[in-house]
Amino acid sequence: MIGFQLTSVALLCTMCLVNGYAGIFGDECPVELSQKTSRACQERRYRQLLANKNIYQLVPISFLPNEPIRWLNMTSDKMRAVFSKHPFEQWEFNIYLAKTAGGAEILKQWHKLNAGEDIQSFADFVKIYTFFRKAQEKLGDPYFKNPSDEEPFQNIIKYWMRDKVFAEQRLAGVNPMTLMRISTDRENVGLKWSELKKVLNQEFDWENLIINTPNMPKISLPKAISSKMVFVLRYPLLDYLPAMPDIMESRPHRKMWDPTSPITFFAVHPNNRNNLIPIAIQMDVKPGSPVYTPKDDGLWMLAKLSVQGADLGYNQVAEHLTKTHLLLEPFCVSKDRQLSENHPLHQIIKYHCRGISITDKLAFQLLLGPNENLHKLFPYGYRGAVNIALKSYRQTSWKDTDFMGNIKKRGLDFRTLLYFPYRDDGKFIFETIQKAVREYVNQYYECDEDVQSDYELQNFMNEVSADGVGIDGGNGNVKDLPNELTSVDSLVVFLTRLLWQLSAQHAALNYPVTDYGGFTLNMPTKLYRDSRVSDDVFSLFSFPNANISAQHAIVAFSLTNYRYDSLFDYGSQLPDKRGRDVISKWFNFLQRRVQPSLEKRNQNRFKGDHLTYPYLLPRWIPNGVQT
């Protein structure tokens, strides 16, 4: 049903068409499916979309012209001219600009107050973190609040050195997307041991890893793997990244560590699958890389910090930037090109897309450009960050939006790992979004033929899908996305995953950076060898200097400390009663039923000495990708 034209509106579901038809007796066109509205409104919608196509276009990123990424064709200046006056986007746009300018001013203020000073104690890192956090929060209430200030929360400043906190950040921290279970060749989940051991240091005694771990059963590693006890962090996209010159540290007695791709092993006791325990870290994927365990004291601490830095960089570029911002922008641009403002799907998608093109355009160069933020912060610099982004995007597809499928694929079901807040709270939110979407869709699509004959919807799918055909087909270049929808169920699945990815998934990948990723002691983006101490000693000198820590903090808080709205809060603003009632109902359900339930979970986690997970509490989930 690709490319329906106004002259050929299919009558595949006569009863649905008659029941849903909305005639026009005045100047106002109703919210309705493209094939169900009047001839006059169809023509008006067509003219509107034709005009929009001249304004909003999907093009390759100008400095990456041969890559598959697509985004809005506007320059930063043109975007400012368009969005600063846009009736729907302008308010959020102006707040975003003020936030960006405010962050730059905060950094200037810090440099003025601390000119020439450097780190003298671990407490100085806490002062830097606290300064930027408080300064950012003062930029504007209510948009700059943090859930960790208002909900039960383990203080990372106190507990960052604990192995338990290190492990649980894989499940409730910045990056809940990389941990997977080590599996046998008979399984189709996780990372197979036969593949993983190809990149391991063969001189290390892997066979007895579990036996040599305190408070673990005295069984071999292969047997523990068969018992579904062993997990791993592995970052293939970080393999063999070259270092770039350190533009933030010029003192000759300090040498930045080269980029690494660490491999981290975790285990759970078969009788206590509630506690994930780190048991070994191989420092890099390169042959012969050393392996450390908790018995190695200072070297173990350095190994954990190297994992933390790798995890933060990987998450922010591969999972956050690539799989939310860059994957989703084509949908948000195309909705203005293919879905009329009077289309019921446009009515809700616009709230979830608000701000994404602004954020991507204005922040992309500031993050990935030469001498910009990621160049300053990470040892692989801007070239390495771009390399990670491109490799990640080439591997990314619509399949990555399958929330429960991803959990299953990584072998992280409830029976295997009891404590996993992202999985458990995410499932509650995902299922609520799914129920809301189904009820909303059912208000407008009474049968499968309604979906098939909705030519605006079909044109939308055809444009965004990499398999699209015709003039606009394939503009969005999203792999594994169907180029047409043929049933109500397929529409519900698609829309659920789109809204999930734009709202809750982005929240899960972005906002924990405020609490974990912005604190240098917990997640240093660089580590150093310093001639004042031996290379095998963990010390204050292992960490970045004050300027890097300040840059680290302001980037973290500028990116992750801003929420414009909360999930489904726009029901009262919808012009059509059918949609208005549904969205308002599910917003109330989130606030009155889901919120208290998840708050109770977090209270129990806090009492049980686990990291809490406030990031998927409904009141803290924005509708879209706003930062």
Structure confidence by residue, pLDDT tens digits, 432-458 = 999 999 999 999 999 999 999 999 999
pLDDT for the residue 362 = 84
Q: Which residue reads 């403002």 in tokens?
A: 341
Task: Give mean pLDDT, residues 252-275.
Answer: 96
Set out the domains of the chain in order of their start, with CATH numbers. 70-77+80-175+312-620 (1.20.245.10)
Locate all alpha helices (DSSP H) within 115-239, ordered by sequence.
122-137, 156-159, 163-172, 193-196, 221-226
Structure confidence by residue, pLDDT tens digits, 524-559 = 999 999 999 998 899 999 999 999 999 999 999 988
State the pLDDT confidence band at 319, using cuts at 50, 70 and 90: very high
pLDDT at 312 over 50: yes
Q: Which residue reads 């087909």 in tokens?
A: 473
The neighbour count for residue 625, using CB atoms within 10 Å, is 28
Q: Which of 385, 341, 388, 624 has its CA nearest to residue 500?
A: 624
Structure confidence by residue, pLDDT tens digits, 97-112 = 888 888 889 999 999 9
**Rounded to whole angstroms, how far apart are CA atoms 274 and 268?**
7
The model's pTM is 0.94
Task: Give mean pLDDT, residues 456-465.
Answer: 99
| Phi, psi at 74, each rounded to 5° | -80, 145
pLDDT for the residue 242 = 97
Structure confidence by residue, pLDDT tens digits, 109-133 = 999 999 888 999 999 999 999 999 9
Residue 575 makes CB contacts below 8 A (sequence gap 6+) with 31, 347
Task: Give mean pLDDT, residues 255-274.
Answer: 96
Structure confidence by residue, pLDDT tens digits, 548-589 = 999 999 999 988 888 999 999 999 999 999 999 999 999 999
pLDDT at 222 over 90: yes
**Rounded to whole angstroms, how far apart are CA atoms 256 and 279?**
26
Q: Are 283 and 292 in contact (CB under 8 A)?
A: yes
Task: Give mean pLDDT, residues 3-13.
Answer: 35
**25 to 34, 302, 370: CA distances (angstroms):** 17, 72, 58
- Helix, strand, coil shares, percent, the chain, to 5: 55, 5, 40
pLDDT for the residue 27 = 55
What are the residues facing 230 on neighbouring strands? 267
Burial-class residue 416 by CB neighbours within 10 Å (0-12, 13-18, 19+): middle
Tell me what the pLDDT averaged over the chain comes to.
93
Q: Are 138 and 505 in contact (CB under 8 A)?
A: no
